[in-house]
Amino acid sequence: NHRMPPHIALFPSAGMGHLMPFLRLAALLSSHNCTITLITPTPTVSAAESTHLTTFFSSHPHIRRLHFPILPFDSSSTPINTDDPFFIRWSQISQSLPLLSPLLSSLSPPLSVVLSDFAASMSFSQLADHLSIPYYVVFSSSARFLSLFASLPSLNLGGIEDYVEIPDLHPLPKSSLPPPFFNPNHFFTSFALSNVQSFPKAKGMFLNTFEEFEMETITALNNGRVLSAMKLPHVIPIGPLEPFKVENGEKSEKGSDYLMWLDGQSDGSVVYVSFGSRTAMSKEQIREIGNGLERSGCAFFWVLKGSKVDKEDTVGIEELLGEGFVERTKSRGVAVKGWVEQEEILSHPAIGGFVSHCGWNSVMEAARHGVPVLAWPIHGDQKVNAEVAETAGLGMWVREWGWGGERLVRGEEVGEKIREMMSDEKLRRRGREIGEEARKAWEQSGSSQKALMEFIDELKH
């Protein structure tokens, strides 16, 4: 039987939170004897995306790269009322997609299937339809957020109710919705609405989550009970995705310094603080967090960002933190600017808690390593994700803090909550259990392993 291995093309959109699951999924599928083409829209918005792509392809020489140069943005065809560089890029990528068609149809061997980012779903589903290639969506957030996102066309947000009802799921507080959802003219909302319409054309939706973590939602989605107006394809939970391997992965000198510092700390004593790759807290809030970390009395590892796009982030750490902070705290903590290997840090036994914006990748990484989370969502899906983490027992979330940046949270409060998380034995125990469940999801007959194998077997037969 000389059946060819299936040929799978993957298409990520812009932003590290979107790229990361694609790189991980590409590596995973390729380890199961599939031929993989990863399409890379270029240029990227952030430096982090381009360096990750370079590292990824040099450590996975058997994964093919299809460069896809995108067109300059044409605001006459899609008026855009956002200054978010990632949103603008999403739109630009969608506009450029018709140009991808000849590139895809000339690939050899012919494609068995294409997987695209939900942020390109609308244009990509048309492309796949035109080329008669089966099409899947990769949704890079929680199943809970998918249930909201997919309900968007039928939600009535104008009423006085405090909650939105999603059939068969517990109601979602309106205050947890991404604020742009209340404005149908906002870029994020109209873009979401148009992409959602194309979901039913997909054969399935991959999610970086796992059954044990989001049981109720996954079950409801897969029983077709959530959406009455539209038939959503079945959800394929394949999380938590494992980081891709880096060959010849000598750690950067800077990286090994940090790890050495962590090695010197006792187990579970260090709080890791990071608000992801897409947003920066205000300078004022950053100083309050610094103050909170000092007050908490805990050892800390803090990754700082001064601006939205890393290429523009030129503020020095002293300027962000105020003079004297680094000197005062150097025996107890590390504050760094720039990229760190987050999974390496989360997997270190010294880490006992994670103050996180709850970008979905970060939540899954915390789950994978059983690290409790103190949620401080900043935008988008993050309040919904914070709720999921809290419900699963992985985290605590101080709702009164609102969206990060909405109000100034004083150092006193921050310090107190950090101390509370770091000393909560119950949370820590539940964290370890979740880490165990995450590991089991990838055992021989584990839930995520099974979901992945079903997809691959179907392609091979």
**Residues lying near ligand BUP in the complex (CB under 6 A):** 15-17, 20, 274, 276-278, 303, 339-343, 359-362, 365, 380
At 35, phi and psi to the nearest 5? -85, 130
For residues 275 and 363, what is the distance between their CA atoms, to the nearest angstrom?
11
In the complex, the smallest distance separating the C-beta of residue 400 from ligand BUP, rounded to whole angstroms, is 22
For residues 442 and 239, what is the distance between their CA atoms, to the nearest angstrom?
8
In the complex, the smallest distance separating the C-beta of residue 448 from ligand BUP, rounded to whole angstroms, is 17
Q: Which two tokens stand for residue 224?
A: 């077709």
Per DSSP, the residues of 378-446 read -STTHHHHHHHHHHHTSEEE-GGG-SBTTBPPPHHHHHHHHHHHHT-HHHHHHHHHHHHHHHHHTSTT-
Residue of 226, 231, 230 whose CA lies nearest to 214: 226
- The answer to whether 310 is a known catalytic residue is no
Compare residues 22 and 227 and give the one whose CB is closer to ligand BUP: 22
In the complex, the smallest distance separating the C-beta of residue 420 from ligand BUP, rounded to whole angstroms, is 23
Catalytic pick from 84, 117, 310, 381? 117
Compare residues 316 and 324 and give the one whose CB is closer to ligand BUP: 316
Compare residues 11 and 104 and give the one whose CB is closer to ligand BUP: 11
Compare residues 8 and 45 and give the one whose CB is closer to ligand BUP: 45
Q: Closest CB to ligand BUP belongs to which residue?
A: 359
For residues 129 and 198, what is the distance between their CA atoms, to the nearest angstrom?
11
**How do strand 299-304 and strand 333-337 relate by DSSP bridges?**
parallel
In the complex, the smallest distance separating the C-beta of residue 343 from ligand BUP, rounded to whole angstroms, is 6
Catalytic pick from 18, 52, 348, 369? 18
Per DSSP, the residues of 28-63 read HHHTTT-EEEEEEEES-SSHHHHHHHHHHHHH-TTS
Compare residues 84 and 212 and give the one whose CB is closer to ligand BUP: 84
Compare residues 6 and 306 and give the one whose CB is closer to ligand BUP: 306
Helices (H), 62-162: 85-96, 100-105, 121-131, 143-151
Largest Cα span, the chain: 69
- The answer to whether 18 is a known catalytic residue is yes
In the complex, the smallest distance separating the C-beta of residue 28 from ligand BUP, rounded to whole angstroms, is 15
Would you say 227 and 197 are in contact if contact means Cβ atoms under 8 Å apart?
A: no
**DSSP 8-class letter at 145:** H
For residues 359 and 385, what is the distance between their CA atoms, to the nearest angstrom?
7
In the complex, the smallest distance separating the C-beta of residue 445 from ligand BUP, rounded to whole angstroms, is 27
Compare residues 35 and 361 and give the one whose CB is closer to ligand BUP: 361
For residues 307 and 337, what is the distance between their CA atoms, to the nearest angstrom?
11
In the complex, the smallest distance separating the C-beta of residue 137 from ligand BUP, rounded to whole angstroms, is 16
Residue of 423, 350, 439, 363 whose CA lies nearest to 395: 363
Would you say 407 and 387 are in contact if contact means Cβ atoms under 8 Å apart?
A: no
E strands along 233-341, which residues? Answer: 235-237, 270-274, 299-304, 333-337
Compare residues 51 and 183 and give the one whose CB is closer to ligand BUP: 51
In the complex, the smallest distance separating the C-beta of residue 118 from ligand BUP, rounded to whole angstroms, is 11
Q: Let me know how long the chain is.
A: 461
Residue of 22, 25, 21, 23 whose CA lies nearest to 455: 25
In the complex, the smallest distance separating the C-beta of residue 363 from ligand BUP, rounded to whole angstroms, is 7
DSSP-based helix, strand, coil % in the chain, nearest 5: 45, 15, 40
Compare residues 243 and 349 and give the one whose CB is closer to ligand BUP: 243
Q: Could you give the residue numbers annotated as active site?
A: 18, 117
